[in-house]
Structure 1
Amino acid sequence: MTIRLTIAAAAVAGAAALAGCEGDDGARGPEGPAGQDGQDGAPGAPGDDASRSSISLSKIGSFRNPEAGFDEAAAEIVAFDAATAQLYIVNAQAETVDIVDLSSPSAPTLSATLDVAGDVATARSISADALGAANSVAINGGVVAVAIEADPKQDPGYVAFYQATDGTFLSAVQVGALPDMVTFSPDGAFAITANEGEPSGDYTNDPEGSVSIIAMSGGAGALTDASVTAVTFEAFNDGGDRAGELDARVRTPRPFGASVAQDLEPEYIAVSDDSTTAWASLQENSGFVEIDLATAAITAIWGTGTKDHAIPGNELDASDDDDAIRITNWPVKGLLMPDSMASYGVNGKTFLVTANEGDGREYIFDTDEAGCDAAMGLQDFDDGECLVYLDEIRARDIVDPDEVGATIDSDLAALFPGAATDSDGDTIPDLFEDGALGRINIIATEGLADASCLNSGGQPTAACVYEDLITYGARSFSIFDTSTRSMVYDSGSDFEVITANRLGENGFNASNDENDVDSRSDAKGPEPEALALGRLEGRTYAFVGLERVGGIMVYDISNPESPDFVQYINTRDFSEDPAVDDAYNPASGDLGPEGIVFVPAADSPSGNPLLLVGYEISGTTAIFDIDVIAP
């Protein structure tokens, strides 16, 4: 603006000078031909509608299976069938799905239970003992799909299909190892699973991750294993046809010499509005797999990149040992590691919205000391458990000569200006003290000049040199443009700033099963995990569940590059202990949001839009009414 004013002033001064010249004006010449129209200017940024409405959530009902325990995943993923007004809740602890009558949202009641393990065992002629937990449920066009893992979970899992009207079992098909999430394409043509393929605790069995695409064209009752197409990653292995296509930003530490296909672990699925493209989040790898559904072909595997917490706007609280809420910039980065995600369209482009939880790898199994000594990896034995692999380390331990004594390179060291001698006589850079960055959990395998310095159990040695310190997750939600495969928005420090302002010393960065304030600051903070999108009054909203401290963050994301914070609602009571005598204390409220579903007004039994949230720690499912607030 200043430049424009300066130019305008000069023009006025020039005109005045010309006007002051002596002499008569000459006769006006003939008018010349009209010039060509100039090119159109670039489109301007969308303006805000000064009269637009907003929304507000309020809890109106709750359901809890009377048999549910505390912290036993009795209410994880939820789905809703509009035609029957029934809510389906994954009860992982019982290997079942609860069906809840939601015709009166303020008074939900249990109407039936699907014995998923029993139904699949009968249909597939296998023992029910060969099946594990139900992990996910989805509904489309009157068909219910339930993903269930095998026991052991390294074996192929299954998807069971039911009729939504009465819960009649229809079919079961085999998919990949550990189907962690199932969804339908919007047109109902496909059911899709993210098969995580996690290894066994002793790392003697590591199946490949995969995505299964189930063609629904013949109807759910006619499905067979031939209806399933496996999308696998062998072509991206060393020496594979597509090995050179793997985005360098995709994290592949490959413990114990695992292949790329073993290392990639699909977590969650989002599908484009036109049902042509699916994306699978690779949480531990911090990336996405993009799949053409018509051909079941992988079009790209791309990474999220990191978030720089030294940049203003990206602050975080890094310590659980500073007796304070201290949200500030630190010289660390965050690997986004998205869990839940969803897609939406704006002006012909598709965007992915991600909840950036973060997740470490820890391989541990039950054995005696002799069995642990014979195992590969770390061989760290404690009280009947053997730890063979861990990619987590506290920042202080990296530089502490009594722990690892690794090096941070000169550029990184310059960000840690001072040093102090601790009570043990060790000289530690001051920012590595426990009250600063010392206790924050760092991904041991990342930020290295040369990863060959790591031991076989994923931990650094004194030979390691760290160029960056990288933490788990980003304590935020992000929006990615799928056409450019780049981030266009991140919520920065919002979640910690907002929860600090609302909860303060009563609950800031507490965990989901106890009320110790600040206890999660060193480990992923509020831990955003659950996510759903909803369309209201022509605007798109994101609902993000914070797994640890609890509550739902609401944002208007109609403009993907400039979302607006709308509301934070937390139905947890921090004055009450979450558990009493190891049993859930109902007075503590809802703990650990895991799955969210948005119900538009047209599908809602009350006529108002609803938000349905499953809480895995408390075993409760909350029903929120969404009010549209007039401008």
Structure 2
Amino acid sequence: MDLVGINDFHGRISADRSSAGAAVLAGAVDELRAENENTLFVSAGDNIGASTFASASQDDEPTIAALGAGGLDVSAVGNHEFDKGFADLAGRVIDSYADSTGENGADFALGANVYEKGTKTPALQEYAIREVSGVSVGFIGTVTEDMPSLVSPAGIADLDFGSELEAANRVAAQLSDGDEANGEADVVVLLTHNGSAGDQCADIAAEDSTYGKLIREASDEIDAIFSGHTHQSYDCDIADRPVIQSHQYGTTLGKVSLQVDPETGEVTEAGTERIALAAEGADGEWAGNFEANAQVAEIVSNAEAEAEVVGSVKIGAISEDILRGGEEPGSDRGVESTLGNTVADIHLWATSNDDFAGEPAEIAFMNPGGLRADLLYGEDGTVSYKDAAEVQPFANTLITFNLTGAQIREALEQQWQPAGSERSKLHLGISEGLSYTYVEEAAQGEHIKDITFNGEPLDEEATFRVAANAFLATGGDNFIAFADGTDHADSGQIDLDATVNYFKAHDVVEPAPLGRAVLLEEEEPTQSPVPSDDPTEDPTEPTASPEPSEDATDEPTGEPTSSPEPTGDASESPDASDEPKKDSPDQNTDDLADTGFNASWIGIIAGVVVLAGIALILVRRFGNKAGR
């Protein structure tokens, strides 16, 4: 049998360069089924959500219809299936799959590690069975345990997300225990919406992560693993079974071929490959590698036509490209971007302009993962409704809330993600007026240095009104400091509406500048205090070093001598001179009252002390300068 799979399709129903589109994807499945009737089409999740406008503008119904018509057999649930909340997934989404496939709609949102809050009661269907020439194949679905930080917490408030490994092994044992009453399968396949951040098999097999543990320690009853979530492309043999991920957006179809003994149900041989669905020609144009499925092509065409009606409306203009982070825009969520800062400015404006009825915000933040497309100048800078929608496709509500300056520092520190997270850093877009310096390679909690607001040091005792989308405001992406804020209030605006209104209020939108976050190459070394010019400063204060620096002689301090002159060696003290050693202050105590300062040995000694102190100050100053 051949199992062919996708992951992280994200509603890419239209062909776009390496993304072949839903019609070519379905055509590829048709061709492979024609070659081998024992072929099943599967997905490792994120079929919908964060979609392009043709699908997103219609609540991803075109994607569900296209995948159903294209013969999708089963799917794991992904984090983006929860974008509109669990109620939407369990109702509308699953019902739509049932309508489009004629199968049980729950087979397209498998989640064995998703439980009702506070219980081990499954909230989603755990597995699905398909028959292939008399061989039963059981598919178990799991989703990353990072779920609470990946979607708006309000939408999953009634759910718990448990261990993928425990759930996969528990269900695999159930499907292999010989009890027909609880489901039986000859072949067991895991569809996990989780994956590796890399694409090298040796590294994947050894990685220290929940995914690495899952693929190494999954039950021997599991014969193959399809993965997703990290948008990588790899096919490996790990723990004597195929492990595959098929890139993203319908660029690639992953294929796992299994030779199965029909008498015993044992897999005797396995192979993998990744099949590119589109190719770039010599002229730079992309074309599908398979003939399009006509029924799916019609679904896509209708969706595109419907989207064009709404999407073609001009909402404003930009002066130049406004881009996400990375050498290839969007490739690096760990760096500052003009788009992140611009969207933060938009959210601040939307929650502080004269038409805003609530308490106005002073600072706004934007998460990089919420930016799914760039704003490109094109021919004349026109920005359409479709363009704006594709930048922020999640329809997040803007929330305002209170944070102290200390909590703002904490939130900025949380850009460096907890150990074991998918990405080590997520760089927040920040609104105009807020800026900070940071050290990249610092201990956890010590990255952020100076923070300023409107040109002044941020008062960490003061309280500020902050704006962010609902995802961030409720602690998404591990930004717990935002959830700890107080007086959270719904602004009554979704991010797309805020963007449209911002463009209408500005003739031309310019990209927000970079540099609101300033990288310090390394932490400044701790230096000995430099003495002031105040002659009353204590000249006997210890110096940073008893030796002059190597190039101290280059300074205008002269050669060290034994005399108590101001040019003397910094290591000399008043006791270093022969002159004051001849007599001690005790020898002249009887003469003090009569002779005065200028006529007594004690006066001479005091003068020497003063001169030596001046010498000490000068040498410390110039010595420190030379050593910086």
Q: What TM-score, normalized to structure 1?
A: 0.22
Higher strand share: 1
TM-score, structure 2 as length reference: 0.22
Structure 1 or 2: more helix by fraction: 2
Which structure: larger Rg? 2
